[in-house]
Every structure is written in structure tokens, then in C-alpha cells.
Structure 1
Amino acid sequence: MNERIHIDHLPNRTIAHNGTDYLFFSGTAYLGMPQHPGFQQLVAQSMSRYGTVFGSSRNGNLRLGVYEEAEAKLATRTGAGAALTLSSGMMAGQVIVNWLRKEQTTFIYAPGAHPALWDSPVVSLPQLSFANWTAQLTTQLQALDAGPVAILMNSLDAVCSDYYDFAWLNDLPDDRHITLVVDDSHGIGVLNNGRGIWPQLSLSENRRNGPIRVLVTASLAKAMGLPGGAVFSDSDTIASLRETAFFGACSPMAPACLDAYLRADALYAERQEQLQRNIRLAEEHLLPSGLFRHATGYPVFYTEHDELYARLLAHNILIYSFAYPTAADRANTRIVISAFHEPADIEQVARRLI
């Protein structure tokens, strides 16, 4: 296990540790929003109006309009019918799991499904490639007793930098009620010009075997730079989730951050363009080494060469390398590109790969 490094400041393109500056190529702040002075200023301005938290239930008799306004904008941006914000991506997943459990739903998990979607503390995930799992899915459904089924999965393999094909949705049987739940925490703000995975799931609305109920969850604390989570679906489903005791008892995400989001269109657009420029540069400089697995246009470069961590650290470059999601899992090593990186940063990493 790699030694843990402790610092006392927010990581940016560099971090300071024991008097030494290191280039930082880890984390999930893909757009670099938490580090952006302009976005920090927007949040500070919003806090003067809304404070640090809203200590109330969203279903209380006094409501802040900023929540509905921001949720409407999130829904419009992604293409979903409606959206609902919560205090974290984990809470966004769990409000759905609790809701589905009351429908006596059978849960089917895809390989690598995030713990936010688990219906118990320990879930046995399929030890198959994603393609092999989808090939067996119809047979698995046919073997189940009658009743509603939920298929729970990630929007992509963000660990190993691999996109998923969703064409298999067209082949699912129409003899039972199917709900698809997709965790898009690593896609929203990055995929499809920032819209996330929702546009790729629209095929299920017109699939030949009938519609599938689709819900997308996301942590907004990654590319979006917001301390909270969200659920996206049709308006009736979102209204039903809002009426649950689980949602009513949750503390909401900070309203100041949603107010800042409403005023940050130009910053998000600029950061998304910069991220794509940085990714293209990284693809040009890193991929010729043959060390990485990489989904084109995505900010993660995965490698099975775990020794790369120590080699780069010796040259004052800190990359991602630790066991995930539990300490018992194998360490995974990757270089993560952010909009806050400068071209010289990426070029320096590439030189140290030789």
C-alpha cells in the first residue's frame, strides 16, 4: 500500500507537502471548479445570502425557491424530465434504493456498481466483463420469479477508463416491469458536452420491447464542484421520490452552492472546453507510451503498471494509486486530467514516462 500523504490545503494543479511542491494528477475535480477563483467568488457571494446550510426539511412549510430553480436547470441541462437534489451522491442513490425496496423489487447489479446503489452493506457483484454480463442478462431475467426488477449500474467504468454500450437495453424482455438505475457521478459535467449519460439512455423510451423506467443518480461533488447529489428521471418518478420519508428526513444540500451554480454558466462552459483541450493533449503525449487504457475524450488514463506511482512520485508528480472501493480491493493506478492543468504539466508527466 502506498504511503498516505497529508496536506492542509485544497489540491490544485500542485500540492505542497513537507516543503516540496508536487504536480497533482488525482482526484475527481475534472473541471477544476472548487479551485477556480471565479467560482469561489460566486459561492462566497451566495453564502452572504443563504448562509452555509439550510437547517430544515425540503418538505417543510418554509421552502427556498433556489432548490426548485436549480433542479429545473439541472433537468434541462441533462435532458431529463425532472431532477431532485440531495446532500450527496450516496444519498441520491439510497433514496432510490429505499423507494424500490418498498415495491418489492428484485435488484440486479452490473459489474462494479457503485456502493451508493447497494441495497445492503455487502453486495456480491458479478465478476464478469461488462460485455459478458449484458450477454447473460436476458437469461438471468427469465430465471427470476415474476415481479418488478431494477438493474443498477454505473454510467461508465471510471476506474479503468472504459465506456459502456447501452444498445443491450433494446433486447431486454417486455414481460416484466424494469427500472434502470445508472450512477453518473463520473459522467455528469464531462460526457456529452457536460450533459452526462442521460442522452445515451433516451433509446429506452422508444425501444422495441416497450419502455423502461430510467433513473440517473450523480454526485455533484466531482466535475460539477458542488457538495451534493442529484436524481434525474421523469416528473412523476421525481415527485414520488420527494414524497418519501427518506427524502423528507434528509438535510438538503447547501442552497448557496446551488445559487452559485445558477450563475456559473460561463465558467462551466469555459472549463469544459479547457478540459477537452487538456485531454486531447494528454492523449497525444501519454498514449504513445503504451502504458494506459483510455476512453477517448475522458479524463482518466488507467494503467496496470502500479510501479508508475513511485516512479512519478520520485519526480514530484502525485498520481492516483490506492485500493478502491474498499481497502481489501486491488490498488488501481491512473492519471487524472483536470481543467486546472497547464500544458507544461502534462508534457512533464509524459517526459517522466520514458
Structure 2
Amino acid sequence: MSESVTGRTIDNFEISHLPNRTITHNEKTYRFFSGTAYLGLPQNPSYHRLMLAAIGQYGTVFGSSRNGNLRLSIYEEAEAKLASSIGAEAALTVSSGMMAGQVVINWLRGQSVTFVYAPNAHPALWHEPVVKLPSMSFDEWTAQLSNQLQTLPIGPVAILTNSIEAVRSDYYDFSWVSELPDDRPIILVVDDSHGLGVLNQGRGIWPKISHKPNVRLVGTASLAKAMGMPGGVIFGDTDTLTNLRRTAFFGACSPMPPANLAAYLQADALYAEGYERLQQNILLAEKLLLPTGLFRHATGYPVFFTEQDDLYAYLLDHDILVYSFAYPTANDRANTRIVISAFHTAEDIQELAERVGGFKLLK
């Protein structure tokens, strides 16, 4: 299968092993700078050993509803730790980040809310198959948000946004939350899939968002990125999460594998080690890549975005595979970015920088 990227038709890379700092394709080795395993947990042998022990106790999957009459205590134990790790009152795990968003959206539909979307809000937060998102910058959107809310029908409003522009590597300023109007109930839903485990010492965006009496904060996130687990999580106050758990949508969905949560409870040192290694790698990449002037980059974040889409083909010719494909739909423009992970070595990043420097000289 092939697709066009910036005018060049290439074969998609299909491999039969987990991507690590390198991948092998057609008997050729490439350095790998893509994916979202920011802390490198899926590639970490020590984490594998925790998983093997946990599978011995919990098996590979729990084939039951979380609301059934037989329950595994590991879910509540892990959810309490997840909530405490970011400073939230409560947490609820589900089978994926997409499911986390849709559990919340399904519940909001029953609250007769008016949906207000931020630019580039993730499809996990969409209340319909196709949602028209604002065609403006995040800062422009926040500047007119309060006025927009005044024009909406009386009743509760749900504001839905990502925590960060992960594709183009831009931070979002959430100071606007404190300026939201006080005269109506507001539910602020923030997808922190690309911030959890990475931003603010791993706590994600939650501690950075102001709280107002009339604004109910709900966070959602994929755990399959920095956290290295196949699942999703919802953060919020206890009443909200109790209401979510009572919905048929939640009760009918399969839970995430309990073994992953058991491993998570034992992996504090591995998460801390992965976080520190990631920070060191980001600092090195910033030092070597940013002087080229090719990248848009949020300081301290592991993504380096470029408008120079032909960098992808150049690096591929030099045995380096970076992110470059249409997202979130096949009809969207392909974007090119370099993703740094905790599993990279200093030598990997230095080799990448040398190749990027060679590309720069051709410009």
C-alpha cells in the first residue's frame, strides 16, 4: 500500500516488531523518530517484566462489565493513584483514549448542553461524526470565546479542547478559563492525551487550569502514549465520574486490561527514569535542531514540527524515519514532525541533527 507525501509516492512501512530507537524494514535498519511512546515504557525490558508478572495474576483481559457483580479491586486502586498523580479528585479508566472522550460526550448529550469546540479539538471529543471546528488560532478563539458564549441559548455549555497542539508543537495558554462568564454552568472538557506523563513533571495540564465555581473541569486522556498502557482515563470530581459510571455507555463497554494497571502501580521508578531521560533528550535535541531554523517547537516538548515536508524524504534516504502522514483524516494535509522519546540515545539525536544539517545546506 502506498500514499503520496508532498508529491512523492512512497510505500507505507509495515513491520512485524515493536518500533524502538530503530526499526527494520525490508532487511534495512532505520533510526525511528516518530510515534507517541514518549517515556519509552513499551520498549523498556524492566516494564516488560512487570507486565509478565501482572499477566500471571490477572491474565490478558477482564471479560466483564466494570458494573458487574464481580469486580477487580485493581481498577479502583490504580484510578486512585492516577487521580492523585495529577491532583484530580477522581479518575475512571476505560478501554482507550477515544472511549474516554466518547463516554463523556455520550453523557453530555443527556445534559442538553450547547457544544463549543476549540480549534483542532480531537475527534475523541466530537459529538457527531463530523464537527465544524473554528478556523482560527487558539489565541484568536480564546479572545472571542466569552463574547461567543453570551450569544448562545440559555443553559449549560460544554467547551471542548485539547490541552496542547501536539502536531504543530504549540502550548495552549489556559488563563482564559478564569475569565469565563459566571452566569451559566460550564463544563470544560480537556483532552490531555499528549500532555499526561510529559507536561508539568508528568502531571499534564490539570494543575495549570484555574477552577471557578460554575466551571466543572473534566479531563480525558489516552494512556497509550507516554503512560504506555492500552487504555484511557477520565479525570474529574467524584459526582461527575459517579454519573459517568452509571451510564449504559460505560457499563456496556469492556474495561482496559487489569494487568496493565497492576504493572502501573509498581512502575514509579520506571516512569521517573523515563521522564528524566526524555528531558535530557529534549534538551539535546533543542540544542542541535533549533539553530537550523527549520522547526516550530514548544520548549520542553518532545515534538519538532516543520513546514519543510521534503525533510521527510531526505531523512528517509539517509535511513531515518520520521512522522509524515495525513492527520486526523486521510483528506487532511500531511504534516512532518520529529518526535523524541526516552528510548533514544545521545548518538541517535546527534546523527539526526547531522542529517538535518545536511538538508539545511541544500536549502
Provide, for residues 161-189 of structure 1, a one-character-per-residue CA deviation record: whole Å limited to 9, x for no partner: 01000111111111111000000000000
Cα distance in 2 for residues equivalent to 1:353 and 1:240: 51
Is 1:345 the counterpart of 2:352? The answer is no
Cα distance in 2 for residues equivalent to 1:96 and 1:37: 35
Q: Spell out the pairing of 1:31-180 with structure 2 (5 A cutoff).
A: 31-180=39-188
What secondary structure is seen at the aligned counterpart in 1 of 2:286? helix
The runs of at least 4 aligned residues of structure 1 exceeding 3 Å deviation read none
What secondary structure is seen at the aligned counterpart in 1 of 2:226? coil
> Does the CA contact (< 8 Å) of 2:112 and 2:156 recur in 1?
yes
Provide, for residues 64-121 of structure 1, a one-character-per-residue CA deviation record: whole Å limited to 9, x for no partner: 0000000000000011000000000000000000101101111000000000000010
Q: Spell out the pairing of 1:256-275 with structure 2 (5 A cutoff).
A: 256-275=259-278
Question: Of the candidates 315, 320, 341, which is equivalent to residue 318 of structure 2?
Answer: 315
Report deviation, 1:216: 0.3
Report deviation, 1:138: 1.0
**TM-score in terms of structure 1 length:** 0.98
Cα distance in 1 for residues equivalent to 2:55 and 2:70: 19
Report deviation, 1:139: 1.3
Aligned residue type for 2:106: N
Supply the RMSD in Å over aligned alpha carbons. 0.7
Cα distance in 2 for residues equivalent to 1:94 and 1:17: 36
Cα distance in 2 for residues equivalent to 1:343 and 1:289: 18
Cα distance in 1 for residues equivalent to 2:90 and 2:334: 37
Aligned residue for 2:197? 189
Cα distance in 1 for residues equivalent to 2:26 and 2:246: 50
Q: Spell out the pairing of 1:222-241 with structure 2 (5 A cutoff).
A: 222-241=225-244
Report deviation, 1:262: 0.3
Cα distance in 1 for residues equivalent to 2:94 and 2:86: 17
Question: Of the candidates 205, 211, 219, which is equivalent to residue 204 of structure 1?
Answer: 211
What secondary structure is seen at the aligned counterpart in 2 of 1:321? strand
Report deviation, 1:211: 3.6
What number of residue pairs does the alignment pair up?
Answer: 349
Aligned residue type for 1:120: E
What secondary structure is seen at the aligned counterpart in 1 of 2:63? coil
> Does the CA contact (< 8 Å) of 2:31 and 2:320 recur in 1?
yes
What secondary structure is seen at the aligned counterpart in 1 of 2:295? coil
What secondary structure is seen at the aligned counterpart in 1 of 2:42? coil
Cα distance in 2 for residues equivalent to 1:199 and 1:237: 18
Give 5+ residue unaligned stretches, structure 1.
none
Give 5+ residue unaligned stretches, structure 2.
358-363
Cα distance in 2 for residues equivalent to 1:296 and 1:180: 26
> Does the CA contact (< 8 Å) of 2:155 and 2:185 recur in 1?
yes
Aligned residue type for 2:286: E
Provide, for residues 116-155 of structure 1, a one-character-per-residue CA deviation record: whole Å limited to 9, x for no partner: 0000100000000001001111111111110110000000
Aligned residue for 1:304? 307
> Does the CA contact (< 8 Å) of 2:184 and 2:214 recur in 1?
no
% identity of equivalent residues? 68
Aligned residue type for 1:141: L
Aligned residue type for 1:212: V
Question: Of the candidates 251, 255, 258, which is equivalent to residue 255 of structure 1?
Answer: 258
Report deviation, 1:299: 0.2
Question: Of the candidates 199, 215, 219, which is equivalent to residue 218 of structure 2?
Answer: 215
Question: Of the candidates 227, 245, 250, which is equivalent to residue 242 of structure 1?
Answer: 245
